[in-house]
Structure 1
Amino acid sequence: MVRILALLCMIAALPAAAQEMRGHGGPVRALAVTADGQVALSGSFDTSAILWSIETGAALQVLRYHDGAVNAVAALPDGRFATAGEEGRVAIWQIGRAEPIRVIQGHSGPIAALAVSPDGQRIASASWDGTARVTPIASGEPQVIAGHKGPLNAAAFTPDGRSLVTGSHDLTLRITPLGGGAARAVDVGVPVNALAIAAGGEIFAACADGRVHVFSPDGVKRGEIIASEAPLVALALSADGKRLAAAGIRGSVALIERQAAGDAGRVERMLVGPGLPVWSVAFRPGGQELLTGGGDRLVRRWDVTTGEHIGPVAMIRPQDALARYNGDRGAEVFRACVACHTLEPDGGNRAGPSLYGVIGRRIGTAPGYVYSPAFRALDIVWSEATIARLFEIGPNAYTPGTKMPEQIVADPDDRQALVDFIARVTARR
């Protein structure tokens, strides 16, 4: 309670001016809101998480621990927070502490989602390693849940806390009793990217076909709601259970009004952002305000009843960082890299470090970027030859332990064009 009161005092001292929340150097991958609705936590591809005062838009604390993108966040009932990263670890944070107070390990792949049990005592993590883990937050060993045949993208506890529902790229969701017993596999027919469960146990699955599929507590299909023409990647249920928010990769968010039993629901209105992927959504308590996080690196506030943006509106797409290099073959090849790396001295780090000054730099030494121990231990100095080798055999083979997505530039001419481009535009000046 003392920690919560201290944070509220910090918020009260800030100037009151509703605005977008700006501060991340990469897309905002995850969002959570505290039970009192005053504080939001965002996780980003830039490897950081930020605690925000929602009313003022001010950053209260930046949390840095993870070696890769922060894919999932959660607000715990006791005022603490949880973050989970691409490197497969869950960090538990206490307000005001610069380091996590506990780190939960065990996954061998990126964690895509977190869920907190109704009693606030356990946290579930869903991973691309094909498993979920349910771990006591205070201390103790996890319960490992297997059975899916592909990466897990989502997890949610049932309202009684006795089962965990998981969603996967393998086209199924599974309902697993945590006290023992056989899991039930439910064929959805498309990859499941996000989950939400209502107080009555009804299961909502946001899927790659742009629809929210609705199931009874025991997994019987009840219907589906068309929310987008593009894949859905995020889903949130308001605390009062009256609305769902389903976000897609084309930048729109469908607000769905839940209907009476037997009716899946209907799209009440669409929130249209700057045309970029919306990676995360979270309602404030009361269900009248929605937060969204997207590819433009902002956390935005929306009035659910009107569909209007709260605070100043910045609807302009971020400038194309490669526009000045139109016609340059190397720049075209580099477009696969631009989401994670900047080129300019003031570009900063994103999911990957800035490449400014990379030629002649020892691996794992870019200022301000958090590298994995395995990466820092490598004996490589970046040169045109070493960069070419990286893209010839791929990051997994050349830099074991890297967070860089696996990619090979097989065409020698394209590879040379890419190397020449990087060397030219990142040269110190």
Structure 2
Amino acid sequence: MPRSLLVAGAVLLLLLALVPARADAPMRGHGGPVRALAVSPDGRLAISGSFDQSAILWRIEDGTALAVLRFHDGAVNAVAALPDGRMATGGEDGRVALWQPGRAEPVAVFADHAGPVAGLAVSPDGARLASAAWDGTVRVWALAGGATRVLAEHKGNVNGVAFLPDGRVVSAGYDATLRIWPEDGAALSVTLPSPLNAVAATKDGEIVTACADGSVRMLRADGSERAAVAIPPSPVTALALSPDGARVAAATVGGAVAVIDRREARLLLTLVGPGLPVWSLAFRSDGELLTGGSDRLVRRWDVRTGEPIGPLALTRPSDDLAAFKGERGAEVFRACAACHTLTADGGNRAGPTLHGVFGRPIATAPGYTFSQALRRLDIVWNAETIAKLFEIGPSRYTPGTKMPEQTIRDPGDREALVRFLERATR
């Protein structure tokens, strides 16, 4: 058994006893943006991964959260559903976890990546799991045991991976290359006009990829381009294929989701949500799509009509900083609000809650999984240490952090932020 499975407290499967949910309501439970989605082959269950470091298993029909899966030290960037009912999660910590329904911990962990896992794919026969990571590699795991295949030709982050019907692997990278990997030997490399954010493969062998230039491109299995569809103005962040392969759903940072007729390479309709970034997509059936985004919800859509299934709030989430309007420190903190809450009932998001942070030793916020590197640091958060964090940057002051690199160069802005946090986190 992998050593990581023996670490006490690393895994928590929390069964939720909830009041029955409305069947037409969005699935609500994550404390951060929903980064990844997958649907079980029978269409009954979904799994979502979030920047809040958790995955949630849902019963789609009534929106009930069946379990919360906590294992990863960082955002859950990728999820996958296997034909046998198991599910996989991939995290910012570089690990891939395999879950069996009803089990309180992963049944297997693959921990060979040296960077965040950004994509997962299951082979057509269900025997292999491929992971794409920001260490520049794709790894193909034999689920029944055996050697791991490492595919390492990309020059930078690998953002997506898929399997062609014949078992070949396709990978999409930030280096603007799509690579098609034979069973042995070097990959066929296809250079496209911009970095690639996602990739999918159809049952008839076509490859669909999402580009940062706002286009969705369809390529034949030999790498030649068949068609392209422009979806301006935002980068395309995620893709999903309908089970029959007829439709492609493409998500954008701008918040809209394009539904494309794949064979005709024609935009059919646009799903318009709250205007917040959409990070994940998964078809439940040929007519129903699930989306996840920065509003922390999983939504259901009828892709034949373009209408949401259930109510759609077209307003942004409540502004927790509205009470501090006009304060410079609150405006500086606004960039942090997506990952951190301030109040006792705010909870953890992608980062731990800052409630009670003053006087708290680093890596001790309750309910949040911290890296071992942070646990070894001797830092107590106060006005001086918080100011220092933003003066020299998280990677230098707190090595091993998952916090995005950022500094505040203006001493006045740092002082205003510290004063604001002293009041807002009491």
**Above 0.5 in TM-score?**
yes
Q: Where do 5+ consecutive residues of structure 2 fail to align?
A: 1-15
Instruction: Tell me the amino acid that sits aligned with residue 278 of structure 1.
Output: V
Report whether the alignment pairs 1:253 with 2:257. yes
What is the CA deviation profile of residues 122-143 of structure 1, one whole-angstrom value per residue up to 9, with x for unaligned ones? Answer: 1111111111111112333321
When the two chains are superposed, the root-mean-square deviation of aligned CA atoms in Å is: 1.5
TM-score by length of 1: 0.93
Instruction: Tell me the amino acid that sits aligned with residue 193 of structure 2.
Output: G
Q: Paired residue for 1:204, among 197, 205, 208?
A: 208
Which residue matches 1:130? Answer: 136
Instruction: Tell me the amino acid that sits aligned with residue 74 of structure 1.
Output: A
How far does residue 282 in structure 1 lie from its aligned partner after superposition?
Answer: 0.4
DSSP-derived class of the 1:270 partner: strand
Which residue matches 2:171? Answer: 166
Q: Paired residue for 1:216, among 209, 213, 220?
A: 220
Report whether the alignment pairs 1:176 with 2:181. yes
User: Compared with structure 1, are the counterparts of its residues 421 and 15 closer, same or farther at alpha carbon in structure 2 (3 Å cutoff)?
Assistant: closer
Report whether the alignment pairs 1:367 with 2:371. no
Q: Distance in 2 between matches of 1:254 and 1:135?
A: 33
DSSP-derived class of the 1:335 partner: helix
Q: Distance in 2 between matches of 1:14 and 1:240?
A: 32
Report whether the alignment pairs 1:103 with 2:109. yes
What is the CA deviation profile of residues 327-357 of structure 1, one whole-angstrom value per residue up to 9, with x for unaligned ones? Answer: 2222222122111101111111000000011
Show structure 1 runs of 4+ deviating over 4 A.
Answer: 13-16
Which residue matches 1:276? Answer: 276
Q: Distance in 2 between matches of 1:372 and 1:96?
A: 27
How far does residue 167 in structure 1 lie from its aligned partner after superposition?
Answer: 0.8
Instruction: Tell me the amino acid that sits aligned with residue 86 of structure 1.
Output: E
How far does residue 197 in structure 1 lie from its aligned partner after superposition?
Answer: 1.0
Q: Distance in 2 between matches of 1:126 and 1:291?
A: 22
Q: Distance in 2 between matches of 1:17 and 1:230?
A: 32
DSSP-derived class of the 1:49 partner: strand
Residue range with higher mean Cα deviation, 350-359 or 216-225: 216-225
Which residue matches 1:7? Answer: none
Report whether the alignment pairs 1:344 with 2:328. no
Check whether the contact 1:50–1:60 (CA below 8 A) recurs between aligned residues: yes
Which residue matches 2:3? Answer: none
TM-score by length of 2: 0.93
Which residue matches 2:52? Answer: 46
Q: Distance in 1 between matches of 2:357 and 2:271?
A: 40
Residue range with higher mean Cα deviation, 305-314 or 117-126: 305-314
Q: Where do 5+ consecutive residues of structure 1 fail to align?
A: 1-9
Which residue matches 2:5? Answer: none
Instruction: Tell me the amino acid that sits aligned with residue 212 of structure 1.
Output: V
Instruction: Tell me the amino acid that sits aligned with residue 208 of structure 1.
Output: A
Which residue matches 2:325? Answer: 326
What is the CA deviation profile of residues 79-114 of structure 1, one whole-angstrom value per residue up to 9, with x for unaligned ones? Answer: 111001111100001111121111101111111110
Q: Distance in 1 between matches of 2:28 and 2:314?
A: 14
Q: Distance in 1 between matches of 2:346 and 2:398?
A: 24
Q: Paired residue for 1:85, among 78, 86, 91?
A: 91
Check whether the contact 2:239–2:248 (CA below 8 A) recurs between aligned residues: yes
User: Compared with structure 1, are the counterparts of its residues 385 and 291 closer, same or farther at alpha carbon in structure 2 (3 Å cutoff)?
Assistant: same
Q: Distance in 2 between matches of 1:100 and 1:358?
A: 32
How far does residue 16 in structure 1 lie from its aligned partner after superposition?
Answer: 7.2
Q: Distance in 2 between matches of 1:121 and 1:132?
A: 16
DSSP-derived class of the 1:336 partner: helix
What is the CA deviation profile of residues 141-200 of structure 1, one whole-angstrom value per residue up to 9, with x for unaligned ones? Answer: 321111111211111111111x211111111111111x2122111111101011111112
Residue range with higher mean Cα deviation, 216-225 or 36-45: 216-225
Check whether the contact 2:28–2:297 (CA below 8 A) recurs between aligned residues: yes
Check whether the contact 2:95–2:109 (CA below 8 A) recurs between aligned residues: yes
Q: Distance in 2 between matches of 1:119 and 1:319?
A: 45
Q: Distance in 2 between matches of 1:15 and 1:62?
A: 16
How far does residue 295 in structure 1 lie from its aligned partner after superposition?
Answer: 0.6
Identity %: 63
Instruction: Tell me the amino acid that sits aligned with residue 164 of structure 1.
Output: V
Q: Distance in 2 between matches of 1:336 and 1:131?
A: 31
Q: Distance in 2 between matches of 1:201 and 1:184?
A: 15
How far does residue 209 in structure 1 lie from its aligned partner after superposition?
Answer: 1.3
Which residue matches 2:406? Answer: 407
Check whether the contact 1:31–1:40 (CA below 8 A) recurs between aligned residues: yes
Instruction: Tell me the amino acid that sits aligned with residue 357 of structure 1.
Output: G
Check whether the contact 1:18–1:54 (CA below 8 A) recurs between aligned residues: no
Check whether the contact 2:156–2:173 (CA below 8 A) recurs between aligned residues: yes
Q: Distance in 2 between matches of 1:219 and 1:356?
A: 52
Q: Distance in 2 between matches of 1:200 and 1:118?
A: 12
Q: Paired residue for 1:76, among 70, 78, 82?
A: 82
Residue range with higher mean Cα deviation, 191-200 or 35-44: 191-200
